[in-house]
Structure 1
């Protein structure tokens, strides 16, 4: 014979995990470093395309200039994930 609804086991009520009283705060250096790496990466790529032939040693690096510029941008994105 099937069980009635009152006999079924009731689900436990969800209780959220306890939260800390202090909000997380980012270090003071994080935002300036994030902006600096992003801007330097973009500027490096822009200078490479606009005046790469006139800047000493930049022409010798060739396409490695793109790796250097995108590395700065990637570091900025990684730092932005740690910002609260």
Structure 2
């Protein structure tokens, strides 16, 4: 049997290389690029939320929530922390 091979242009070769790299990253269990920034962002948002609540004497971020602002802030922090358990 004769195998036909198509000569790839540089642009097609670059796309094929990127595709192969993504496939290899998935196979190795690596996280996507957005994972770490989202993880750190959630923890920082939670920290800023709690600090803002204390510094403004419960007027901000949401005055009507009262002490539930602490729950919201710690919720962001916990979500970020839970993401750390999946980080590879």
- Scaled by the length of structure 1, the TM-score of the pair is 0.66
Match of 2:54 in 1: 49
Match of 1:5 in 2: none
Among 67, 76, 80, which residue is 1:76 paired with?
80
**Larger Rg: 1 or 2?**
1
Kindly indicate whether structure 1 or structure 2 has the higher relative contact order, using CA contacts under 8 Å at least 6 residues apart: 1
Q: Which runs of 5+ in 1 are unaligned?
A: 1-21
- Scaled by the length of structure 2, the TM-score of the pair is 0.63
The structure with the greater share of residues assigned to helix is 2
Among 38, 43, 48, which residue is 1:38 paired with?
43
Match of 1:26 in 2: 31
Match of 1:64 in 2: 68
